[in-house]
């Protein structure tokens, strides 16, 4: 099969490799569309000594085979899945491996392109809101005002965070965004006090406007989908202790966080914890349940993916997509690639 490998210079090489065989509780998926994520260029930069690897984690396609113990999936099923990060056989190939608990069914209503925007970013948002911040779940929505700041509302993680928070009736949503503000406007509900703050106005303006947007009432929760360029510092200055900020990246050494403000990084890979390893598996079981919830939402029409742009050339166009992600050109959009467009692939 054809499989793409990304090195530390963000150069992509498409190679011929063997089709993997699923192990127990794994699903082999014939990939139709793969999504891309910022981590796909960041990880090779962060770990330059690592060999080139298949960094793709967002899978949309058809089940080809299942490993021992898999229940609920069979060959031919239309699915989306979250590949285990940093493991072999990701979504940048004709076939990919996923665990059964991070795979969910798709109906004809959902395109492969839309589905490929969902797994990693949506689960990151869900873990941040409901596991790290302990906010009310969508099936047990709040009936009281509950201010929540989402920093980076036009990113995929931020946008999914807005969607999930809305399902939980969490308002007012105070969303920090820039050039993607017009996209965010379509996600929030102004009648419930939701608002947008432009980070380009500067740090002091962001901090003061966050407080003002809550009517100077306490704000104890924030989802930081950026976690760079001073985002969590702005949040820590605007929130009221005790408060928790869920970030997607680690904080920088030397940053001073006010007393009573907790920063809890969301490690989306925790949904892949091995239940036989004797470790806690709360995130794993949450992920298994929530992916099915997402699948139901897609089928019933009350949940949707992120806006996407199909990059031409399949895996041969992947390098350009990753370089554009690195350059910050993607705003309110996910880049996806159609595997069938790859040179030498016949699907």
End position of a domain, from candidates 266, 285, 318: 266
Is the same domain home to 171 and 225? yes
Shared-domain flag, residues 198 and 318: no
Say if residue 149 is in the same domain as residue 90.
Answer: no
The pLDDT tens digits for 201-248 are 999 999 999 999 998 789 999 999 999 999 999 999 999 999 999 999
Q: Name the residue range of residue 254's domain.
A: 122-266
Cβ-based burial of 231 (10 A; exposed 0-12, middle 13-18, buried ≥19): buried
* Cis? peptide before 242, omega within 30° of 0: yes
Q: Which residues contact 169 (CB under 8 A, 6 or more apart)?
A: 136, 141, 142, 143
Number of domains in the chain: 2
Tokens 């999504």 sit on residue = 35
Q: What is the pLDDT of residues 151-177, one digit of tens each?
A: 999 999 999 999 999 999 999 999 999
Helix (H, G, I), strand (E, B) or coil at 165: helix
Give yes or no: residues 130 and 250 share one domain. Answer: yes
- Side-chain half-sphere CA neighbours of 273 within 13 A: 17
Domain membership of residue 111 (yes or no) is yes
Instruction: Indicate if 135 and 95 belong to the same structural domain.
Output: no
Give domain status of residue 13, yes or no: yes
Q: Could you tell me if 149 and 173 lie in one domain? A: yes
Q: Is the pLDDT of residue 85 over 70?
A: yes
**Tens digits of residue pLDDT in 11-43:** 999 999 999 999 999 999 999 999 999 999 999
Q: Decide if 278 is inside a domain.
A: no
pLDDT tier at 273, thresholds 50, 70, 90? confident
**pLDDT-based confidence at residue 73 (cuts at 50, 70, 90):** very high
Question: 95 and 154: one domain?
Answer: no
Same domain, 255 and 328: no
Query: Residue 256, Cα to own-chain centre: how many angstroms?
Result: 27
Q: In this predicted structure, what is the pLDDT of residue 254?
A: 87
List, in sequence order, every residue forming a beta bridge with 61; answer none if it has no partner: 31, 79
Q: Is the pLDDT of residue 116 over 80?
A: yes
Query: Is 153 part of a structural domain of the chain?
Result: yes
Tell me: do 57 and 152 sit in the same domain: no
CATH code at 30? 3.90.180.10
CB–CB of 304/296 below 8 Å?
no
């Amino acid at each position: 099969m054809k499989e793409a490998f990304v090195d530390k210079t963000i150069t992509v090489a498409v190679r011929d490799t063997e089709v993997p065989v699923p192990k127990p509780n794994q699903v082999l998926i014939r990939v139709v569309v793969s999504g891309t994520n910022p981590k796909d260029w960041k990880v090779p930069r962060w770990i330059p000594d690592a060999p080139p690897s298949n960094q793709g984690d967002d899978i949309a396609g058809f089940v080809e085979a299942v490993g021992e113990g898999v229940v609920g999936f069979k060959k031919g099923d239309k699915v989306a899945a979250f590949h285990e990060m940093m493991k072999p056989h990701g979504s940048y190939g004709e076939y990919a491996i996923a665990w059964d608990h991070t795979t969910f069914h798709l109906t004809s209503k959902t395109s492969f392109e839309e589905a490929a925007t969902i797994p990693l970013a949506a689960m990151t948002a869900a873990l941040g809101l409901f596991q790290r911040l302990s906010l009310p779940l969508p099936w047990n929505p709040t009936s009281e005002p509950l201010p929540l700041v989402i920093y980076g509302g036009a990113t995929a993680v931020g946008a999914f965070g807005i969607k999930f928070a809305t399902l939980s009736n969490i308002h007012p949503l105070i969303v920090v965004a820039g050039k993607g503000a017009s996209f965010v406007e379509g996600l929030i509900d102004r009648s419930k006090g939701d608002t947008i703050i432009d980070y380009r106005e500067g740090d002091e303006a962001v901090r003061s406007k966050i407080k003002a947007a809550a009517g100077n009432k306490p704000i104890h929760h924030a989802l930081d989908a950026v976690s760079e360029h001073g985002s969590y510092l702005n949040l820590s200055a605007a929130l009221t202790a005790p408060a928790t900020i869920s970030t997607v990246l680690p904080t920088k050494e030397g940053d001073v966080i006010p007393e009573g403000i907790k920063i809890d990084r969301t490690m989306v890979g925790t949904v892949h914890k091995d239940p036989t390893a004797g470790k806690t598996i709360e995130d794993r079981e949450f992920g298994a349940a929530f992916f099915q919830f997402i699948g139901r939402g897609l089928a019933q029409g009350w949940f949707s993916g992120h806006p996407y742009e199909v990059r031409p050339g399949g895996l041969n166009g992947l390098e350009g997509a990753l370089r554009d992600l690195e350059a910050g050109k993607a705003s309110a959009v996910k880049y996806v690639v159609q595997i069938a467009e790859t040179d030498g692939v016949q699907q």
